[in-house]
Amino acid sequence: MAIQRPRGTQDILPSTVGYWQALEKKMRQLAATYGFQEIRTPIFEDTRLFLRGIGETTDVVQKEMYTFPTGDDKDKTFTLRPENTASAVRAYLENKIYGQETLTKWFYIGSMFRHDKPQAGRYREFHQFGAEVLGSQSAVTDAEMITMIVQFFQSLGLADLNVEVNSVGCPHCRPAYREKLITFFEPKKEELCEDCQNRLYKNPLRILDCKNETCKKLSIGAPEIHENLCEDCHDHFETVKKYLTIAKVPFVINPRLVRGLDYYTKTAFEVQYTPLGAQSAIAGGGRYDGLVEQLGGPHTPAIGFAMGMERVLLALEKQDLLPKPEEEKKAYIVALGEAARQKAFAMVTALRSMNCQVAMDVENKSMKSQLKHANKIHAKYVIIVGDDELQRGEAVLRFMDTSEQETIALADVIDKISSLVKG
């Protein structure tokens, strides 16, 4: 049997790559508008980065990492990046960016890898657009990040999105809240799902967003995080809400939103598009004030988000909003006979050196099939040169939209086509 692509991966063929390119272009524009610069980190990293960065109790680390031998060092392994925040922070530290600037704003676009159960909207290789701000503790930054995502979706025309925000506290107030949750869930331990039984002492907050129906029921009446925030976290959250209101961002507060990765502090947020069903989260993020220190750096408050590009495209498709790829104007030179073909090749080469999209036939096809090809590639202008025209020093210029034709001097073809194509 022919070899197939690995489960949970996709081929992005030329017929759909235009959507990706259009989306990426918009993402880059958005990032520039908000003052973010692009960063590209390796696709694989030392596994310890994710163990330390994402948290050993998370699903991502426990079940979903692609880990493999380094080939050099028996005591070490590499892992395909399951997300990009830990790598961005590593790059921030390794390149001592903290010593060069007080505020760092980075964005990335790229593949992430998780050994998850593939289904609609969930893949093993998927693409994220994400952004990180390192060096700001202001709650206004949190509101700015959420606003940035919302403006992006608005610019795509996407409707029916829900923005959920929460505060998950900080190392001052979370331990006491954790204890309250453990006390609350301990008597129900046997009824919790297997994952939540494991989470009970390690990360009881995660029980609150377990999708299992029994766990959902068991968590009714659990202590609420908002009643257990310290003054700093409380004030921070109030400011986030105030600035979201100033930015006219519609949001709801979801006290059960804790997110899958361990590093979050204070603000956590998610954007949901419910028609996507079980995989309705299209973007999510939060503050991670402790992560830089946890990875060996100086105390650096930070916040980030990531958006699943496949899910954005699925949402766009559902609302019939897939971005139309921009088509450049193209020309085609129909050459009939060897002498004409040589002349055409010289003209095509000259036009291409001027960045004009121009094609010609090299298979000695008939006029009819060359015109058919010109049509297929959506050429707007066609130059026809046969041996007779060549002798007269002329060529026929045909406008494909209207089928109008005119005779022009062969010597003018390059100027004429380049001004039409670029005009």
Which positions lie near ligand AMP, rule CB under 6 A?
Answer: 83, 114, 116, 122-123, 126, 128, 260, 281-284, 306, 308, 310-311
- Please report how close the Cβ of residue 125 comes to ligand AMP at its closest, in angstroms: 8
Which are the contacts of 274, defined by CB distance < 8 A and separation ≥ 6?
160, 162, 280
- Please report how close the Cβ of residue 412 comes to ligand AMP at its closest, in angstroms: 53
36 vs 123 by CB, closer to ligand AMP: 123
CB 240 within 8 A of CB 278: no
- Please report how close the Cβ of residue 206 comes to ligand AMP at its closest, in angstroms: 13
**Residue of closest CB approach to ligand AMP:** 308
CA atoms of 396 and 417, how far apart (whole Å): 12
86 vs 371 by CB, closer to ligand AMP: 86
- Please report how close the Cβ of residue 35 comes to ligand AMP at its closest, in angstroms: 22
- Please report how close the Cβ of residue 150 comes to ligand AMP at its closest, in angstroms: 14
- Please report how close the Cβ of residue 138 comes to ligand AMP at its closest, in angstroms: 22
54 vs 379 by CB, closer to ligand AMP: 54
161 vs 356 by CB, closer to ligand AMP: 161
- Please report how close the Cβ of residue 135 comes to ligand AMP at its closest, in angstroms: 21
Alpha-carbon Rg for the chain, nearest whole angstrom, is: 28
263 vs 381 by CB, closer to ligand AMP: 263
CA atoms of 146 and 303, how far apart (whole Å): 11
140 vs 276 by CB, closer to ligand AMP: 276
111 vs 239 by CB, closer to ligand AMP: 111
- Please report how close the Cβ of residue 305 comes to ligand AMP at its closest, in angstroms: 8
60 vs 331 by CB, closer to ligand AMP: 60
- Please report how close the Cβ of residue 62 comes to ligand AMP at its closest, in angstroms: 14
SS (H, E, C) the chain: CCCCCCCCCCCCCHHHHHHHHHHHHHHHHHHHHCCCEECCCCCEEEHHHHHHHHCCCCHHHHHCCCEEECCCCCCCEEEECCCCHHHHHHHHHHCCHHHCCCCEEEEEEEEEECCCCCECCECCEEEEEEEEEECCCCHHHHHHHHHHHHHHHHHHCCCCCEEEEEECCCCCCHHHHHHHHHHHHHHHHHHCCHHHHHHHHHCHHHHHHCCCHHHHHHCCCCCCHHHHCCHHHHHHHHHHHHHHHHCCCCCEECCCCCCCCCCCEEEEEEEECHHHHHHCEEEEEEECCCHHHHCCCCCCCEEEEEEEHHHHHHHHHHCCCCCCCCCCCEEEEEEECHHHHHHHHHHHHHHHHCCCEEEECCCCCCHHHHHHHHHHCCCCEEEEEEHHHHHHCEEEEEECCCCEEEEEEHHHHHHHHHHHHHC
308 vs 413 by CB, closer to ligand AMP: 308
Q: How far is CA 16 from CA 19, 20, 33, 314, 324, in A?
A: 6, 7, 27, 12, 10
CA atoms of 395 and 384, how far apart (whole Å): 6
CA atoms of 265 and 240, how far apart (whole Å): 14
- Please report how close the Cβ of residue 360 comes to ligand AMP at its closest, in angstroms: 42
- Please report how close the Cβ of residue 116 comes to ligand AMP at its closest, in angstroms: 5
284 vs 290 by CB, closer to ligand AMP: 284
177 vs 263 by CB, closer to ligand AMP: 263
